[in-house]
Amino acid sequence: MKDEFEWIKTISPASHKQSSLILGIGDDAALIKGSALDQIVCLDTMVEGVHFTKATLTPFHIGHKALAANISDIAAMGGIPLFYLVSISIPAGWDEEELSRIYKGMAALAEEYEMDLIGGDTVSTTGPLVLSVTVLGQVEQGRKLLRSNAEPDDLVFVSGPVGDSAAGLSLLLERSHQGKFSKEESLLVKEHQLPLPHVEAGRILAKSDRRVALNDISDGVASEAHEIAEASGVSITLFYDKLPKSEAIKHYPGEMQDEWMLFGGEDYKLIGTMSPDGFPEVQAACEKAGCCLTVIGRVSKGSPGVVLDRGTSVEKLSKAGYNHFSD
């Protein structure tokens, strides 16, 4: 990079989409009109060699994914994503063309939601590339889709198939993103590289004005279900046969499917719980909007934890692996 100031000019948007934005990039800080809606703020960091490599993601994917992870957190609060700020620590080995593609990956996804890039910091590093994104969003006053909201007799749902991203990653680790993939494999690879957060489902759940516990599946179904169980002080039973599974992973060995579906991360679907009586209405609204909620389990009283019901057997499901009940 020749000049930080010149570089910032190349990534600064020429115009903005949110009318509440008073001032974006170009001063000491961004300035946004106040709003009666509640604000949501989150931050997510990706490190080269830890969260991705040049073999698994192109620069465009890196940008897309860093922003998607944050938008997914906004979705899990039922919110509308509005603004983002980018901290990028750049090693000597990355050229301006690659860096520009990272920003294009973010901008393309931001476009979907009419989000504006409003600030950040561009620095050099002797280490790997570090990309940290902060997202601001908003949600109707008093709506709290917290993981602590689950209650006994709630049903547990997810907003889409799980495990595809982990399956895609395993293909990428095997062949890199320049490898050849069948049509079905490409679907899995795409779920890893260009995941789409489930903002619409989050919005429908928020607008239902019902008690909803909600998480996005960044760390795998088992881990997220555990977080809800622990925060709410309840026991969660997941029905193995109900877990939505994409066609593309069905012909892999069962053990691999299990690993991906239960413990694979970065799916960016939503997992939540709510009372059964409110569910049909929310499910119908989702279907109308082109998203799909599937019931995958039940909440019950009991010591906080997660249980996997396989029909013929019941297992205690740990956060990162599962153990059969000792009998």
Q: Rounded CA gap, 307 and 262, in Å?
A: 12
Stretches 6-14, 139-147, 162-170, 307-315: which one binds a second copy (CB under 8 A)? Answer: 139-147
- Is 73 annotated as a binding-site member? yes
Strand partners, 309: 239, 314
- The upper half-sphere exposure of residue 268, i.e. CA atoms within 13 Å in the direction of its Cβ, equals 25
- Is 218 annotated as a binding-site member? yes
- Residue 164 neighbours by CB under 8 Å, 6+ apart: 187, 188, 191, 192, 246, 248, 249, 260, 267
120 binds a second copy (CB under 8 A): yes
Q: Are 306 and 236 in contact (CB under 8 A)?
A: yes
- The upper half-sphere exposure of residue 267, i.e. CA atoms within 13 Å in the direction of its Cβ, equals 31
Q: Residues in the chain, how many?
A: 327
195 binds a second copy (CB under 8 A): no
Total site size for a second copy, rule CB under 8 A: 65
Stretches 53-61, 92-100, 134-142, 173-181: which one binds a second copy (CB under 8 A)? Answer: 134-142
- Is 164 annotated as a binding-site member? no
- Is 321 annotated as a binding-site member? no
Among 1, 55, 123, 320, binds a second copy (CB under 8 A): 123
Q: Rounded CA gap, 310 and 314, in Å?
A: 6
- Is 121 annotated as a binding-site member? yes
* Residue 29, burial from CB neighbour count under 10 angstroms (0-12, 13-18, 19+): exposed
Stretches 86-94, 108-116, 176-184, 253-261: which one binds a second copy (CB under 8 A)? Answer: 86-94
139 binds a second copy (CB under 8 A): yes
- Is 322 annotated as a binding-site member? yes
Angle at 241 between CA 257 and CA 251, to 5 degrees: 35
* Residue 293: DSSP 8-state: -
Angle at 24 between CA 21 and CA 30, to 5 degrees: 85
Q: Which of 108, 98, 97, 16 is nearest to 68 (CA)?
A: 108
Backbone angles phi, psi at 244, to 5 degrees: -70, 130
138 binds a second copy (CB under 8 A): yes
Stretches 70-78, 159-167, 185-193, 299-307: which one binds a second copy (CB under 8 A)? Answer: 70-78
Stretches 95-103, 126-134, 151-159, 256-264: which one binds a second copy (CB under 8 A)? Answer: 126-134
Q: Rounded CA gap, 127 and 123, in Å?
A: 12
Among 37, 187, 196, 256, binds a second copy (CB under 8 A): 37
Binding letters toward a second copy, positions 204-243, x by CB under 8 A:
----------xxx--------------x------------
27 or 247: CB nearest a second copy: 27
Amino acid letter at 34? Answer: G
248 binds a second copy (CB under 8 A): no
158 or 248: CB nearest a second copy: 158
125 or 182: CB nearest a second copy: 125
Q: Rounded CA gap, 162 and 268, in Å?
A: 9
Which residues line the annotated binding site for Mg(2+)? 28, 44, 73, 121, 216, 219
Residues that bind a second copy (CB under 8 A): 22-23, 26-47, 49-51, 72-74, 76-77, 79, 83, 85-87, 89, 91, 118-121, 123-128, 130, 132, 134, 136-139, 141, 144, 146-148, 214-216, 231
